[in-house]
Structure 1
Amino acid sequence: MAEQIPGQEYEYEALPSNYGLSHNMMAGAFAGIAEHSVMYPVDLLKTRMQILHPTTGGLYTGITNAVSTIYRIEGWRTLWKGVSSVIVGAGPAHAVYFGTYEAVKELAGGNVDDGHHPVAAALSGACATIASDALMNPFDVIKQRMQVHGSVHKSLAQCAKTLYRTEGLQAFYVSYPTTLCMTVPFTATQFVAYESISKFMNPKKDYDPFTHCIAGGLAGAVAAAITTPLDVIKTLLQTRGLATDQEVRSARGLFNAAAIIKRQFGWKGFLRGLRPRIVSTMPSTAICWTSYEMAKAYFKNQMG
């Protein structure tokens, strides 16, 4: 934290005159890579548990069973299969994500005073995810294709080439509308919750890693639970090319995929992977926000 001038209160949220969009983007890129790299194994478990018709070796009864089965049959390294895709995509996507968040929040009046601004937080979060998902969606598709049990894809480039050759460019964006239907409410809910919890825990808005960590984790858990049904639909669309069930392979979009899940598994089908999604999202958002605020504080300190 920058050295406080006697008689002058230090405001963490007050941006220095030479602190610009590029610094928010660098902080966001750092946060995105840190978040996805650390929590990747749990994300892989979530994807596998959401597959509607997995092959025999990919059928699990719970998180513990999934971990032990993967370790016994495929080895520990499998838990990191496809991580290169999120590392390559997460940096630019999160740079855009947090850059957009800070820019829209400023324009919407979210930084004008010490008051609570949930509308500005929700709007900035929604705009941030629309922009970042346009970059991240193809990498997310590649990641999930590599995560599925029995996947023959060995690298990011090989998977991308195969996917483009066999299913065309649309395969990289078939889930984009569904992704936005999930991530817009997820991010809006998360940002409002994060801003609200942070203000309650840290009314002075000082740099406080503990507050950022707890607020980020709780905000992520709430948002994850609410949007799990849409995440199940997204997973179906992004992995349809590997499905053994013909109806799943021919899924055409959000509503058609939802109808397939309802018809084959009932309403409980929309909650597949709920526990690992919450388990992964809580520390994931905690790491993301803590890393972002830490990087932001570092840049401000350098300029102070």
Structure 2
Amino acid sequence: MADQAGSKNAPAGNAAFCESPQVYDRDASAIASLVDNTKLDVKSPTDVFLSITKSLIAGGVAGGVSRTAVAPLERLKILLQVQNSQNARYKGMFQGLRTIWNTEGVKGFFIGNGVNCARIVPNSAVKFLSYEHAANAILWAYRRETGDSEAELNPVLRLGAGACAGIIAMSATYPMDMIRGRLTVQTKGSESSYNGMLHAARTIVRMEGWQALYKGWLPSVIGVVPYVGLNFAVYESLKDYIVKEEPFGPVPGSELAVLTKLGCGAVAGATGQTVAYPLDVIRRRMQMGGWYTTTINGQKVQVHYNGMLDAFSQTVKKEGFTALYKGLVPNSVKVVPSIALAFVTYEIMKDLMTLEYRITD
């Protein structure tokens, strides 16, 4: 009787639930769909290790080839960033490249490129893998918050995921970037010189302390947010827009042509580096602070900065606002071929290694 009374007094919703198994099945399917769309595929430790290793190799080779191809422009950009406008030795892209050729020969174009390539493997691996995990975590939280299992990342969320990835990757490889900057800037006849990456690291730690390896870290952290964040946000948002809106006509399936992806990458790279470029200039100058001398009014002066704001203040006061964009032209010129070569090389490596996981996607 009690059971019958309980059944009679049960809420209508519960009675409907008990009498309609379809309702339960539908709700269970919705929950399963939400979980399936927000979790990563579970793989064995061996599969995960092989996937990460292949990604490291493919991304490292792609980064090394692309960076080596534009090494002359990369070095000229840094030389333009740190020189003083009152005694400018490099007065533009073509004149600067000729000066390097005449004074240092072919080797001068590739000074500092070895350490630059050496940091590409860990930087690319950490950056892209961090972005993937950050994006998945943000997407999971976003879908859970909205209750929409079909929700996708919007540009703002992609910007956040890219910023997280950039900060992690930059912090992990910053000492190598700092050493690369000094190796790149030293020229024939420099008062201070290093005989290679390891010698530079030992000398810097001995003479300036280990904290010197992180000079300019703060503006780098601030700059990496718009730079890497915009790279990922603009690139993926452009791809989504082209696929969904079809502004240039029908797009077969959901795969874009390589040239279209290159165009998206070029726009993303140009946008990110233009917005963050002044912070890159300040970062380089802080890295060189106290290490190199410049000539002002005929006298050699050793340059020192007491932090990021002081570096900004001194640069603008002595050289004007345009000094914050020194080297922007060669840096912009190298963006398109660098991205193009990175994509093509990665695709070749992916095919050779039958790689399932694609960093660029």
**TM bin (shorter chain):** 0.7 to 0.9
Residue aligning to 1:226? 275
State the distance in 1 between where 2:225 and 2:342 align. 17
Q: How many residues align?
A: 288
Q: CA deviation at 1:287?
A: 3.6
Residue aligning to 2:265? 216
1:205-256: per-residue Cα shift (whole Å, max 9, x none)?
4263222211111110111111111111011011123321587632122111
Q: What amino acid sits opposite 2:208 in the alignment?
A: E
Q: Which runs of 5+ in 2 are unaligned?
A: 1-39, 144-148, 245-252, 295-299
1:94-138: per-residue Cα shift (whole Å, max 9, x none)?
111111011111122289758562133212211111111112211
Contact 1:194 1:219 in 2 (8 A): yes
Contact 1:28 1:97 in 2 (8 A): no
Q: What amino acid sits opposite 2:183 in the alignment?
A: M
State the distance in 2 between where 1:54 and 1:143 align. 23
Q: What amino acid sits opposite 2:260 in the alignment?
A: T
Residue aligning to 2:324? 270
Comparing 257-266 with 107-116, which one deviates more in the overlay? 107-116
SS at match of 2:129: helix
Q: CA deviation at 1:71?
A: 0.7
State the distance in 1 between where 2:355 and 2:274 align. 34
1:231-283: per-residue Cα shift (whole Å, max 9, x none)?
11011011123321587632122111101101111211111111112112333
- Residue 131 of structure 1 pairs with residue 168 of structure 2: yes
- Residue 142 of structure 1 pairs with residue 182 of structure 2: no
State the distance in 2 between where 1:137 and 1:54 align. 27
State the distance in 2 between where 1:74 and 1:242 align. 21
Q: CA deviation at 1:293?
A: 6.2
- Residue 95 of structure 1 pairs with residue 125 of structure 2: yes
The one of 287, 300, 303 aligned to 2:356: 300
Q: What amino acid sits opposite 2:60 in the alignment?
A: A
State the distance in 2 between where 1:233 and 1:102 align. 30
Q: TM-score, normalised by structure 2?
A: 0.71
Q: CA deviation at 1:153?
A: 2.1
1:29-51: per-residue Cα shift (whole Å, max 9, x none)?
34433332222221101000111
State the distance in 1 between where 2:274 and 2:348 align. 27
State the distance in 1 between where 2:282 and 2:123 align. 22
Comparing 190-199 with 202-211, which one deviates more in the overlay? 202-211
Q: What amino acid sits opposite 1:225 in the alignment?
A: T
- Residue 117 of structure 1 pairs with residue 173 of structure 2: no
- Residue 84 of structure 1 pairs with residue 114 of structure 2: yes
Contact 2:291 2:302 in 1 (8 A): no
State the distance in 2 between where 1:114 and 1:289 align. 28
State the distance in 2 between where 1:113 and 1:81 align. 49
Residue aligning to 1:29? 60
Q: CA deviation at 1:301?
A: 8.4
Contact 2:55 2:357 in 1 (8 A): no
State the distance in 2 between where 1:271 and 1:55 align. 16
SS at match of 1:109: helix
Q: Which has the higher contact order (CA 8 A, sep 6+)?
A: 1
Comparing 287-296 with 199-208, which one deviates more in the overlay? 287-296
Comparing 88-97 with 243-252, which one deviates more in the overlay? 243-252
Residue aligning to 1:59? 89
Contact 2:58 2:346 in 1 (8 A): yes
SS at match of 2:355: helix
State the distance in 1 between where 2:132 and 2:341 align. 18
After superposition, the CA RMSD in angstroms is 3.0
State the distance in 2 between where 1:155 and 1:42 align. 21
Q: What amino acid sits opposite 2:198 in the alignment?
A: A
Q: CA deviation at 1:202?
A: 4.1
Q: TM-score, normalised by structure 1?
A: 0.83
Contact 2:84 2:319 in 1 (8 A): no
Contact 2:72 2:97 in 1 (8 A): no
Residue aligning to 2:103? 73
- Residue 178 of structure 1 pairs with residue 227 of structure 2: no
Q: CA deviation at 1:69?
A: 1.0
Q: What amino acid sits opposite 1:263 in the alignment?
A: K
Overall identity of the aligned pairs, in %: 26
Q: What amino acid sits opposite 1:44 in the alignment?
A: R
1:73-104: per-residue Cα shift (whole Å, max 9, x none)?
11011111111111221101111111101111
State the distance in 2 between where 1:250 and 1:282 align. 35
